[in-house]
A and B are shown apart, each in its own frame.
Chain A
Amino acid sequence: MASSAAPAPAFAAAPAATGQSGLWSWLTTVDHKRIGMLYLWTSLAFLFVGGTEAFILRLQLAHPNGQVVSAEVYNQLFTMHGTTMIFLVVMPLSAAFFNFLIPLQIGARDVAFPRLNAFSYWVYLFGGIFITLPVFFNVAPDAGWFGYAPLTTNQFSPGIHIDFWVLGLQILGVSSLAAAVNFITTIIHMRAPGMSMARMPMFTWMSFVVQFMLVLAFPAITIALFFLQFDRFFGTQFYELAAGADPLLWQHLFWIFGHPEVYILVLPTFGLVSEITPTFSEKPLFGYNVMVFSGILIGFLGFGVWAHHMFAVGMGATADTIFGIGTMLIGIPTGIKIFNWIATMWGGNLRFTVAMKFAIAFVALFLIGGVSGVMHASPPTDLQQTDTYFIVAHFHYVLFGGSVMGIMGGIYHYFPKMTGRFLSEKLGNWHFWMFFIGMNLTFFPMHFSGMLGMPRRVYTYDAGQGWDTFNLISTIGVVFQGIGLFVFAYNFLKSWKGEKNAPGDPWSAGTLEWSIPSPPPEYNFAQLPIVTSRYPLWDIKHPERTAELRHSDPDTAVVAEAHGVPMLEQTETRTAKALGIPMPFPTIKPLFAALFMVMLFASLIFLHTASLQVAVVSMIGTTLLFIGAVYSWLTSPLE
């Protein structure tokens, strides 16, 4: 039945499931695919916000003594650019893929807790709006995305700018934590029969590592933020130097979170690229086991190197040495991954789709960012580079060249699966080249302006220090990126409404998510599949590609054979009801729980803008509403 000549299965049009359109259905959805889509749309909207902020920053810096914005506004813009891109764009873009892909890749019908999943999204949306709105009223956070205390205490940052930042990040932390608990449970528990850990697709593996990092790293910043919140609102003294506080307390707690955060931002992309490269090289991923273990190793080491962000504070030679060596060690598993991607492509039957171009660009650009990272892992070198544009160049190569380019590749790769429609490859090529050229034009010169001593986070600079040309080039690069972004937006919006002509397996890929129609029916799999290898679909359609892979014991294979026709040919476009698959009820309750929780955090602002009474009444009221919403949610049946 499954020979290399097996015809591509004929998929019927995706099911027009009932009650799946209209605003109300989106507000009440608990379907992981639709929540993934909500994450995607929202984070792309925030990408425009963060991009606009960056554009204004670069306009200001295009020439010496720029007059586009004032120093105060500049501070708000660079703070919000970092905060937005990290917490509202890259993390939720990853979350969009976690949501959409993990259940499909492991052969599950949904995540472990569908309603908690909806809650995570709504908390993210409301939290994102909460932290972004002040930008339009000139009261946006203005102390950097790292919010160093004591700079952020009332004494040095009066007003409500920082209040929004502190509370907004707390809110977003709740969203990430709830999602992480959900995905850990999903990956441990919801895998289809035969989907052992050693057969999980690499994206799911890397996401799995990321969820553990989220669960273990976020508490440190949560507590640091609570201290700051208490200092600002209740008069505690955690960051009060006059009372004997340690000026490094914040930095330690923040970077214990902050460094793992770097890997939280980039590991999902490692996963996506590990799905794209095998598909378009028509070869299994090279060194699967090593890829898994290097990912886990990165996760572990990522918790032990935070103080490389603090070499300049003078921790002493011993601490500097330990953290410097630890940081360089992380280069090893990361380098292994780079070689594995190259080896995956090596000798493969390469197809240069837009997704593949983004993936290849990711490998190259991330490598540049990685190499400059190893440079300032050395404390003496770091002392020269710290707080200069060299660092800005480094982390943009990692986060733009790495995360964003990889995620864009993921979007081009998975758009057909998400929507049943293709993104235009022609426009995609424009998008790719604009991004690729633009980002190199912008960030490569920053290595030089940084080495020449240009400090970051400063709103302007004087002429004649050798920085002028480099800055102008950087700004020109942003124009290219902006064009690329608009081409992408046009492509995305146009294709969203375009012709539904994507088959279930448009790229001839090997993993489970491609074995079902595009877009998948609400229940994903009409019947849970039995999995016997890492590339189940290739086993059927392209056995020559997986001939050298180990397959499962004969028993499972026999079971699989006894059941006959492969799943993909059998998947019918019937409703869940017709198939007798119980689906969770749509519900608005997670949205309200999220709303009340965000309002509870927001009430604290009244302490600084209104009176104690107003704040207390508002907090008690929203707490009661929140508890009520949670009770009502927990006591209503799931399905």
Chain B
Amino acid sequence: MATAAIAESSAAPHGEHTHYTTTGLENRKIAMWTLIGSECMIFASLISTYLVYKGRSKVGPWPHDWGCKTSAIVGKTAAAVQAAGCAAADVMKPVLDIPITSQSTFVLLMSSLAMVLALEGVENHGKPGYDRWYKGSRFWLAMTALMGAAFLGYQAYEFTSFVHEGLTIRTNLFGSSFFTLTGFHGTHVAVGVLWLVSLLAIDMKRGLKGATDVLLVDIAALYWHFVDVVWIAIFTLIYLIQ
């Protein structure tokens, strides 16, 4: 009978510890991709809700328009709102500050670049040229974490100034959906920063090198780039498109 269907495999001989995987890739990488698939649906739900609720708020402040604290007047400029009968003291600015957020977006984009360089540093650990501080993984991991933290700083500033302008998570549908969406994203950045700092700590302690550590950083990089890409979607759909 030629089809002895079950036989011992040469893949895992006695006494030798080799973890066999079907594709030869590492488990954690597949897991991260799966998780990212799920996260896509999370952010899709949040962004759709924001877009569905766009323009449905009953009171200001508004994302892109000028408003009035005492009435439902909305206009493209402060003058338009005042002309429609709103007292100067009651005029509300549009809350979204595109120049400032462009800066934080730029910082986050650059952090992805730093992440790429950090991974390169781990991959080439010990190779000639990579022993210089500005080529090594420690510097670039620190830079990535720092830029992530800077982004969070921008977000903290942004949130505080919105609150000063009268927009909280309870004010209107815009406030609820905006703070929830960007807050979710900010939490993801915070988790990423924590992760990067942990990697940096390992790097300081024993140095990140070899295939296992490359994988470790690779997975963090995958997550970090994903969080970055989500922000590009948020920035475009929520800030840029009026």
Query: Footprint of B on A, CB under 8 Å?
Result: 1-3, 112-113, 177, 180-182, 184-185, 188-193, 195, 215-220, 222-224, 226-227, 230, 234-238, 240, 242-246, 249, 253, 512, 515, 527-533, 535-537, 539-540, 543, 551, 554, 557, 559-568, 570, 579-582, 631
Contacts and interface: CB of A to CB of B under 8 A. Distances in A.
Contacts of A190: 20-22, 27
A237 B45 contact: no
B176 interface: yes
Contact of A188 (B5, B23, B45): B23
A219 B41 contact: yes
A230 B180 contact: yes
Given A112-B31, A180-B34, A185-B31, A530 B7 contact: yes
B49 A223 contact: yes
Contact of A193 (B11, B13, B38, B58): B11
A189 B7 contact: no
Q: How large is the interface on B (under 10, 10 to 19, 20 to 34, 35 or more residues)?
A: 35 or more
B22 A543 contact: no
B170 A235 contact: yes
A188 B22 contact: yes
B8 A238 contact: no
Contact of A540 (B4, B13, B22, B175): B4
A543 B4 CA distance: 10
Interface string B5-21: 11111111111110011
A393 B50 CA distance: 38
B127 to A, nearest CB: 28
B27 A185 contact: yes
Contacts of B6: 512, 515, 529-531, 536-537, 539-540, 560, 566-568
B10 A563 contact: yes
Nearest to A1: B4
20 contacts: A2-B3, A3-B1, A112-B27, A185-B30, A188-B30, A189-B22, A189-B23, A193-B9, A219-B41, A236-B175, A249-B52, A253-B49, A527-B8, A527-B14, A530-B6, A532-B5, A539-B6, A557-B2, A563-B8, A566-B4
Contact of A539 (B5, B39, B52, B57): B5
B172 interface: yes
Nearest to B2: A557
A477 to B, nearest CB: 40
Nearest to A237: B176
A610 B58 CA distance: 33
Central interface residue in A243, A562, A568, A582, by most chain B CB within 10 Å: A243
B45 A245 contact: no
Contacts of B2: 554, 557, 561
Contacts of B198: 631
Nearest to B23: A189
Contacts of A543: 1, 3
A236 B180 contact: yes
Contacts of A242: 58
Contacts, number: 203
A215 B42 CA distance: 10
Nearest to B43: A219
The 3 closest A-B pairs by CB, nearest first: A536-B5, A219-B41, A539-B5
Contact of A113 (B31, B38, B41, B176): B31
B21 A537 contact: no
B56 A219 contact: no
B22 A191 contact: yes
A244 B23 CA distance: 51
Contact of B8 (A177, A218, A226, A567): A567
B45 A219 contact: yes
B87 interface: no
Contacts of B44: 219
Contact of A219 (B14, B22, B38): B38
Given A182-B31, A184-B34, A530-B7, 14 more contacts: A2-B5, A189-B21, A191-B22, A223-B42, A234-B169, A244-B56, A527-B8, A528-B8, A528-B20, A533-B3, A551-B3, A579-B15, A580-B17, A582-B17
B26 to A, nearest CB: 8
B49 A236 contact: no
Nearest to B26: A189
B35 interface: yes
A449 B151 CA distance: 60
Contacts of A180: 34
Contacts of B17: 580-582
A244 B180 contact: no
Nearest to B32: A181
A226 B183 CA distance: 12
Interface in B32-68: 34-35, 37-39, 41-42, 44-46, 49, 52-53, 56-58
A220 B4 contact: no
B3 A539 contact: yes
Contacts of A185: 27, 30-31, 34
A224 B180 CA distance: 12
